[in-house]
Chains A and B, each alone.
Chain A
Amino acid sequence: MRRLLFALLPAILAILMVWGLTPARAEEPRTLVVGSKQFTEGRLLSEILAQLLEARTDLRVVRRMDLGGSRVVFSALQAGEIDLYPEYTGTGLLEILGDPRSGGPEETLKAVREGFLRKYDLVWLEPLGFNNAFAMVVTGEKARELGLRTISDLKAHPGLRYGISLEFLERADGWNPLLEAYAFPREELTVRGLQHGLAYEALAAGHIDVTNAYTTDGKLERYGLVALEDDRGFFPPYHAVPVIRGEVLRAHPEVGRTLALLAGSLTDRRMQSLNYRVEERKESFEAVAADFLKGRGLVKESRPLTARARSGSFLQYLVDHPQQTWALVRQHLTLTGLAVLLACLVGIPLGIGITRWTPAAPPVLAAAGVIQTIPSLALLAFLIPVPGLGLGARTAVLALSLYAVLPILRNTWTGLRGVDAGVLEAARGMGMRPWQVLTMVELPLAVPTIMAGLRTSAVITVGMATLAAFIGAGGLGEPILTGLYLNDNVLILAGAVPAALLAVLVDLFLGRLEALLAPRGQD
């Protein structure tokens, strides 16, 4: 019975694999894939582009929304996983081209147009109009109290607490260059990094005094925030522009013509109010986009629209969306199961291998350790362009399994090395063949240790799998990440609580399995 279970386990997981993996992008000629970054405005703009293209071209539009940061979306575009997405001129110049030049809106657009075309065969179409620049913001109250008007004014008040978004801290056009440009006394500043979606609450609650924001952010108004003037002209212009693969544009020039209808149609204020409708009035992206397009006379009839549910609690949300939740849980489990299976398929044989040939052990274990230290987003961005991977489950599973492999590998190694030397010597000396020693003596005795590694790995992976949402692979990370940028606690909990429960259940289940598989007669 025990042995049967052991033999069936990989089979069960393999079935999960076939069931769960989304195929890589099918090359349908009449399909256009619209991507988006993972924040309200990016997602909303993409939805507007998608709806317009659906209404005015005969292409089938596929949405791959909510991809991670600029790097992930750009990798996806380069790899042909998506065909277009809206990007900001400043981001394109500094983040992607790595060009530190700063200039006016015209020069910047010109620079990215040339650079992208030459380097990547990507085309920047017509700007949509508004400039979603970075800004440093404080509460109106604080501004009045301290007489803050410009960024330079901040220098006079070293006691201010800065809460800076994690992305901004890292950006090439972000925090550090800003400090330099304004010659801030760096040592005197109190700075903490936080998730952008949480910064406003922190500001409102008085935990921080200054944060970075976007000029079109719908929340500025709601929280009564004031953007400080960029008196040294540090922030580059961030005009939103649809960026499309040259190949696609040449095949479907109508896409360029259609999107040109949107040129200059969005002012800063209009964008701010659209953002506000999604974030604060809880209208759906689809509804707001359709409304906007209809208002501009760009589409005639909008589809029937549903407002996003304003549910009271996350439990209510789960009850209201059983199928959605179940699908996410299933996706999540599939991602986790496949990743752990893959990690087992690699980690256990590798662990066995390095006990047979010990000189390989230190480098192999070190390499597995190094993988753990790669930031997950960087790993994802790195994997997307790999042929056959792209956006979606394959890349997610691969990335997760890379993280999952260490505990399994290490415990296989530890478990096998822990087998009593006398027992091994007896087994060899009595005339068992090497594979008999391995399968009849070493592995059975190492099972508890290996299973413990597998369990650790699985529980970690359940948590890590929320990151799959960054690359459109679904799972419970989807509501969490959307909830984070929409500042919607219900959504966050609707993902986080089932994920936590799942981790506990997986741990319990594997604990039982471990007890079942453990060889009898161990002291």
Chain B
Amino acid sequence: MIELDRVCKVFGAPAGAVRAVEQVSFRVEDGETVCLIGTSGSGKTTTLKMVNRLEEPTSGRILVDGRDVHTQDLIRLRRSLGYVIQKGGLFPHRTVAQNIGLLPRLEGWPADRIRVRVEELLELVSLPAERFAKRHPHELSGGQQQRVGVARALALDPSHILMDEPFGALDPLTRDNLQEEFLRLKSRVGKTILLVTHDLAEAFRLGDRVALMHEGRLVQIGTRVDFRLRPASPFVEEFLRSHLDGPGEALALDLLDPEARIVRPGQEPGPGGPLLFLDPEGVLEATAAGADQPRFENPPTLAASAQRAAALEFLLKTRLPALGVLDEQGRLLGAVTPKSALRGLQRT
């Protein structure tokens, strides 16, 4: 667990102090991935670097697994926190195997154990050791370098990993690949991860939760649904609108059919549709394409965070005229219909 408690960082410059991070508090739970997002200069990197003490906070406390990082031996602390940066930061004069094996070597592991570990890690990041171990970084593509960077960060099997725009410098296709791989890896290694990105789609895709920073302050932290349903401020709304415009990124939440109407017990459905019928407890009891159309009792529902592809697939499978969309508390938000699920796709 990583915990930040009212952390501030002021860069003192004679010309004028820069308040890079102000009163930031949040936690990354064990096994959780939190993505720090925000515009350039909002203080993400500074926040991250204070965790492994590449920067020292001006005030506030940072705890890793309950222990104040400030009281720990600097070197031990850093070796217990994997660190991945943009472009990998690989040592150009060392081979892939030497890059990955460096920390184990400094830890005094025997050569055999290092070799085994390097092979294991290369396999984990899908780079066959026999082809890649002896190469130098400049003989790798950007994506391959980044994989090596990740493997290197995992060398000592740290329980926490800090990543600063790990996929930032890659072309979109490679980035997509690596994100995919990241999710696969995450499920296999179960680390606590704090990841900085400036790509909102990436943040929502990779993070269990997303922390949005603006001008040094933490504006909101939560899931995508939280952000969508309960934006903390007009700034957050605006930020989401301007940073999430790819149609492929839409969730069930974004695809609600404005024509769908909720019908409470005793209400007259009236003309038009589709319709969502609630029981007296407010639970969805049936759906129908219109007032004089067949009712489908006890229909399945969709989570607000379901992705468009999942929603479409579900609609096709069930052949329902409308699928109820529920928020995390099980409250009905609206319905996705075949028409609304396809909305936006034609445009591109």
Does B54 contact A430, Cβ atoms closer than 8 Å?
no
- In the bound complex, residues from chain A placing their C-beta under 8 Å from that of B153 are 430
Judge if B46 is at the interface, Cβ distance under 8 Å. Answer: no
- In the bound complex, residues from chain B placing their C-beta under 8 Å from that of A436 are 106
Does A521 contact B106, Cβ atoms closer than 8 Å?
no
Query: A444–B93 Cα gap in the complex (Å)?
Result: 8
Judge if B113 is at the interface, Cβ distance under 8 Å. Answer: no
Proximity bits, B81-93, A CB within 8 Å = 1, else 0? 0110111111111
Query: A436–B88 Cα gap in the complex (Å)?
Result: 19
- In the bound complex, residues from chain B placing their C-beta under 8 Å from that of A422 are 85-89
Judge if A523 is at the interface, Cβ distance under 8 Å. Answer: yes
Does B85 contact A426, Cβ atoms closer than 8 Å?
yes
Judge if B137 is at the interface, Cβ distance under 8 Å. Answer: yes
In this complex, how many residues of chain B approach chain A with their Cβ under 8 Å: the count is: 33
Q: Enumerate B58-104 residues with CB–CB distance to A below 8 Å.
A: 74-79, 82-83, 85-95, 102-103
Does A521 contact B137, Cβ atoms closer than 8 Å?
yes
Judge if B52 is at the interface, Cβ distance under 8 Å. Answer: yes
Does A441 contact B91, Cβ atoms closer than 8 Å?
yes
- In the bound complex, residues from chain B placing their C-beta under 8 Å from that of A441 are 91
Query: A8–B249 Cα gap in the complex (Å)?
Result: 61
**Nearest CB in chain A: distance from B221 CB, A:** 24
- In the bound complex, residues from chain B placing their C-beta under 8 Å from that of A420 are 89, 92
- In the bound complex, residues from chain A placing their C-beta under 8 Å from that of B77 are 431
Does B86 contact A522, Cβ atoms closer than 8 Å?
no
- In the bound complex, residues from chain A placing their C-beta under 8 Å from that of B83 are 426, 429-430
- In the bound complex, residues from chain A placing their C-beta under 8 Å from that of B78 are 428-431
Does A423 contact B75, Cβ atoms closer than 8 Å?
no
Does A429 contact B54, Cβ atoms closer than 8 Å?
yes
Judge if B136 is at the interface, Cβ distance under 8 Å. Answer: yes
Does B75 contact A522, Cβ atoms closer than 8 Å?
no
**Nearest CB in chain A: distance from B178 CB, A:** 17
Proximity bits, A439-462, B CB within 8 Å = 1, else 0? 011001100000000000000000
- In the bound complex, residues from chain A placing their C-beta under 8 Å from that of B152 are 430
**A-B CB contacts (within 8 Å), total count:** 74
Secondary structure dominating the interface of A? helix
Query: A277–B298 Cα gap in the complex (Å)?
Result: 128
**Nearest CB in chain A: distance from B155 CB, A:** 9
**Nearest CB in chain B: distance from A225 CB, A:** 66
Judge if B138 is at the interface, Cβ distance under 8 Å. Answer: yes
**Nearest CB in chain A: distance from B337 CB, A:** 49
Query: A444–B74 Cα gap in the complex (Å)?
Result: 24
**Nearest CB in chain A: distance from B240 CB, A:** 30
- In the bound complex, residues from chain A placing their C-beta under 8 Å from that of B139 are 521
Judge if A519 is at the interface, Cβ distance under 8 Å. Answer: yes
In this complex, how many residues of chain A approach chain B with their Cβ under 8 Å: the count is: 22
**Nearest CB in chain B: distance from A514 CB, A:** 15
Judge if A28 is at the interface, Cβ distance under 8 Å. Answer: no
A441 nearest CB neighbor, chain B only = B91
If A428-B54, A430-B79 touch, whether A522 touches B93 (CB-CB below 8 Å) is: yes
Proximity bits, B139-183, A CB within 8 Å = 1, else 0? 100000000010011000000001000000000000000000000
Partner of A429 from B52, B102, B137 at Cβ < 8 Å: B52
- In the bound complex, residues from chain A placing their C-beta under 8 Å from that of B103 are 430-431
Partner of A519 from B52, B88, B89, B93 at Cβ < 8 Å: B93
**Nearest CB in chain A: distance from B302 CB, A:** 42
Does A521 contact B94, Cβ atoms closer than 8 Å?
yes
**Which residue, A420, A428, A436, A445, has most C-beta atoms of chain B within 10 A?**
A428
Query: A32–B86 Cα gap in the complex (Å)?
Result: 73
Does A523 contact B138, Cβ atoms closer than 8 Å?
yes
**Nearest CB in chain A: distance from B170 CB, A:** 14
Does A427 contact B91, Cβ atoms closer than 8 Å?
yes
Does B92 contact A522, Cβ atoms closer than 8 Å?
yes
- In the bound complex, residues from chain A placing their C-beta under 8 Å from that of B79 are 430-431
Judge if A307 is at the interface, Cβ distance under 8 Å. Answer: no
Judge if A157 is at the interface, Cβ distance under 8 Å. Answer: no
A522 nearest CB neighbor, chain B only = B92
Judge if A3 is at the interface, Cβ distance under 8 Å. Answer: no
**Nearest CB in chain A: distance from B45 CB, A:** 10
If A429-B78, A430-B103 touch, whether A523 touches B92 (CB-CB below 8 Å) is: yes
Proximity bits, A206-246, B CB within 8 Å = 1, else 0? 00000000000000000000000000000000000000000
Judge if A433 is at the interface, Cβ distance under 8 Å. Answer: yes
Does A423 contact B54, Cβ atoms closer than 8 Å?
no
If A422-B85, A521-B138 touch, whether A432 touches B106 (CB-CB below 8 Å) is: yes
If A430-B78, A431-B78 touch, whether A425 touches B136 (CB-CB below 8 Å) is: no
- In the bound complex, residues from chain B placing their C-beta under 8 Å from that of A433 are 75
- In the bound complex, residues from chain A placing their C-beta under 8 Å from that of B74 are 431
- In the bound complex, residues from chain A placing their C-beta under 8 Å from that of B106 are 432, 436
Does A426 contact B138, Cβ atoms closer than 8 Å?
no
Does A431 contact B136, Cβ atoms closer than 8 Å?
no
A444 nearest CB neighbor, chain B only = B93
B169 nearest CB neighbor, chain A only = A422
- In the bound complex, residues from chain B placing their C-beta under 8 Å from that of A440 are 91, 102
Query: A428–B83 Cα gap in the complex (Å)?
Result: 10
Judge if A118 is at the interface, Cβ distance under 8 Å. Answer: no
If A429-B78, A430-B79 touch, whether A522 touches B138 (CB-CB below 8 Å) is: yes
Query: A426–B136 Cα gap in the complex (Å)?
Result: 17
Query: A184–B4 Cα gap in the complex (Å)?
Result: 84
B93 nearest CB neighbor, chain A only = A519
Query: A522–B162 Cα gap in the complex (Å)?
Result: 27
Judge if A520 is at the interface, Cβ distance under 8 Å. Answer: yes
- In the bound complex, residues from chain B placing their C-beta under 8 Å from that of A520 are 93, 136
- In the bound complex, residues from chain B placing their C-beta under 8 Å from that of A428 are 54, 78
Q: Enumerate A391-441 residues with CB–CB distance to B below 8 Å.
A: 420, 422-423, 425-433, 436, 440-441
Query: A425–B164 Cα gap in the complex (Å)?
Result: 11
- In the bound complex, residues from chain A placing their C-beta under 8 Å from that of B136 are 520-521
Proximity bits, B207-236, A CB within 8 Å = 1, else 0? 000000000000000000000000000000
- In the bound complex, residues from chain A placing their C-beta under 8 Å from that of B93 are 444-445, 519-522
**Nearest CB in chain B: distance from A266 CB, A:** 70
**Which residue, B78, B92, B102, B152, has most C-beta atoms of chain A within 10 A?**
B92
Query: A427–B87 Cα gap in the complex (Å)?
Result: 13
**Nearest CB in chain B: distance from A186 CB, A:** 52
If A422-B86, A422-B87, A425-B85 touch, whether A431 touches B92 (CB-CB below 8 Å) is: no
**Which residue, A429, A436, A441, A523, has most C-beta atoms of chain B within 10 A?**
A429
- In the bound complex, residues from chain A placing their C-beta under 8 Å from that of B138 are 521-523
**Which residue, B85, B91, B95, has most C-beta atoms of chain A within 10 A?**
B91
Q: Enumerate B86-142 residues with CB–CB distance to A below 8 Å.
A: 86-95, 102-103, 106, 136-139
Q: Enumerate A127-150 residues with CB–CB distance to B below 8 Å.
A: none
**Nearest CB in chain B: distance from A305 CB, A:** 64
**Nearest CB in chain B: distance from A449 CB, A:** 13
- In the bound complex, residues from chain B placing their C-beta under 8 Å from that of A426 are 83, 85, 88-91, 149
A421 nearest CB neighbor, chain B only = B89
If A431-B103, A432-B106 touch, whether A423 touches B52 (CB-CB below 8 Å) is: no
**Which residue, B52, B89, B103, has most C-beta atoms of chain A within 10 A?**
B89
Does A423 contact B86, Cβ atoms closer than 8 Å?
no
Query: A420–B85 Cα gap in the complex (Å)?
Result: 13
B86 nearest CB neighbor, chain A only = A422
In addition to A422-B88, A430-B78, 8 A-B residue pairs with Cβ atoms within 8 Å of each other are A420-B89, A422-B85, A422-B87, A425-B89, A431-B74, A433-B75, A521-B136, A522-B138
Give 16 A-B contacts (CB < 8 Å), ordered by A residue.
A422-B86, A422-B88, A422-B89, A426-B91, A427-B89, A429-B54, A429-B85, A430-B102, A431-B75, A431-B103, A432-B106, A436-B106, A445-B92, A445-B93, A519-B92, A522-B93
9 shortest A-B CB distances, which residue pairs? A426-B89, A521-B136, A519-B93, A431-B78, A431-B79, A429-B83, A422-B89, A523-B138, A521-B92
